A = this chain, B = another copy of it.
Amino acid sequence: MAELTSLKQAVSELIRDGDSLAMEGFTHLIPSAAGHEIVRQHKTDLTLIRMTPDLIYDQLIGMGCARKMVFSWGGNPGVGSLYRFRDAIENGWPRALEIEEHSHAGMANAYVAGASNLPFAVLRGYRGSGLPQVNPRIKFIDCPFTGEKLAAVAAIRPDVAVVHAQKADRRGNVLLWGIVGVQKEAVLAAKRSIVTVEEIVDDLGAPPNAVVLPSWVISAVCAVPGGAYPSYAHGYYGRDNNFYKAWEAISRTRDGFRAWMDRHVIGTGDFAEFRRSLIKA
C-alpha cells in the first residue's frame, strides 16, 4: 500500500545514492518537483533512465548527480539541445556520463519487459541502425517459428520509478490521463516508486479502463500541486513553452546554470517556493 507522505520524506527514504532511477513522462506530467528535491538532497551516482530526458535530467546531470543515462531522445523538446547533457558527454563536465542509448520503440519495449517480469522483449526494430553496435543490451534473435531475425532488448528494471499524475485517492490509488507515455510500465518495472500528484481526492472518479495505478504497487504518493511545471498536467494547467525556450539561455553556460540552480532550486525549500522565486525573477 502506498504511503501518503511528503515529497521530501519520500525522496529521502526511497532514493539511495547509486540507484537506477526512472523519472518518466512523455512531455506531459514530468516529475519536475521530484527532480528538484533529488538535487536538494544531493543524491549522487544515479543511473538516470528516461525515454525523453529533458530539463530535469539536464539539471541532475549539470549538478553532478548522475553517473549514467539510459535514454532514447535527449533534447529540449521543440527547442533544441540539452546543454548540460552535451557538456557532460562532450567535455565530461561536471563528471563523465556513461550512456546507454535506445530508440523509442526499443526502450518502450524494454520497460514493457520489465513490467512483465520478462528478461527481454522482441521487436521489429533497429534494422540498419548503428545503435546495436554501441549498445550491448540490443541483440538480434531468430523467430523459432519462421526463422525471421528480430531485435531483442534487455528489460529495464529500475530501483525506483518517479512519475507525476493528476490525482490520487486517500487510499493511494492513482489516476492519470491524456498522454500517458510509459509511466505505468516504469512504475510496474521498478522495485520502488514515488508518485507526485496534483491533488488528493476522496474519489478518483476514474472512467472505465482509465490508466489507474493501484495503491499496492506504489511506495509513496505525495501531493505536489503544479509539480509537473514547466511541463503540464492535462486538465490542470498548460505547458509553459516559454520556460523551455528560456532554458536554452539559462543552461548554455556552466556558471549561468549553476547560479540559476543555486538561486531557484538549492536556495528554495520546496517546489512552491521555487515557483514563487521564479515569478520574482
- Contact between chains at A141 and B139 (CB < 8 Å): no
Having A118-B150, A145-B154, one finds 17 other A-B pairs with CB under 8 Å, namely A118-B122, A119-B148, A119-B150, A120-B122, A120-B144, A120-B145, A141-B141, A144-B152, A145-B152, A177-B208, A178-B208, A178-B209, A207-B207, A208-B210, A208-B234, A209-B210, A209-B211
Which residues of chain B are within 8 angstroms of A144 by Cβ–Cβ distance? Answer: 120, 139, 141, 152
Whether, in the assembled complex, A242 has its beta carbon less than 8 Å from a beta carbon of chain B, the answer is: no
Q: Please state if B120 and A124 are interface contacts (CB–CB under 8 Å).
A: no
| A281: interface (CB < 8 Å) | no
**What are the interface flags for A114-151 relative to B under an 8 Å C-beta threshold, 1 for contact and 0 otherwise?**
00011111111000000000000101010111101010
CB distance from A52 to the nearest CB of B (A): 19
Looking at chain A's contact residues, the main secondary structure is loop
Are B141 and A119 in contact (CB-based, < 8 A)? no
| Shortest Cβ gap from A206 to chain B (Å) | 9
Cβ–Cβ < 8 Å partners of A14 in chain B: none
Q: Is the CB of A145 within 8 A of B122?
A: no
A119 neighbours in B (Cβ, 8 Å): 143, 145-146, 148, 150
A266 beta carbon closer than 8 Å to chain B: no
* A89 beta carbon closer than 8 Å to chain B: no
A149 to chain B, nearest CB (A): 11
Most B-side CB within 10 Å, residue of A121, A122, A154: A122
In the bound complex, residues from chain B placing their C-beta under 8 Å from that of A143 are: 119-120
In the complex, which residue of chain B has the Cβ closest to the Cβ of A210? B209
A150 to B177, CA, bound (A): 34
A179 to chain B, nearest CB (A): 9
Residues of B within 8 A of A152 (CB): 144-145
Q: Tell me the chain A residues, 156-179 only, with Cβ under 8 Å from chain B.
A: 177-178
A180 an interface residue at 8 Å Cβ cutoff? yes
* B residues in contact with A208, CB < 8 Å: 177-178, 207, 210, 234
Nearest first, the 9 closest Cβ-Cβ pairs linking A and B are A207-B207, A177-B208, A119-B143, A119-B146, A139-B144, A145-B154, A144-B152, A141-B144, A120-B143
- What residues on B are CB-neighbors of A234 within 8 Å? 208
Contacts of A211 in B (CB 8 A): 209
A208 CA to B212 CA, complexed, in Å? 12
Nearest-neighbour CB distance to chain B for A80, whole angstroms, equals: 30
The complex places the Cα of A121 from the Cα of B118 at a distance, in Å, of 11
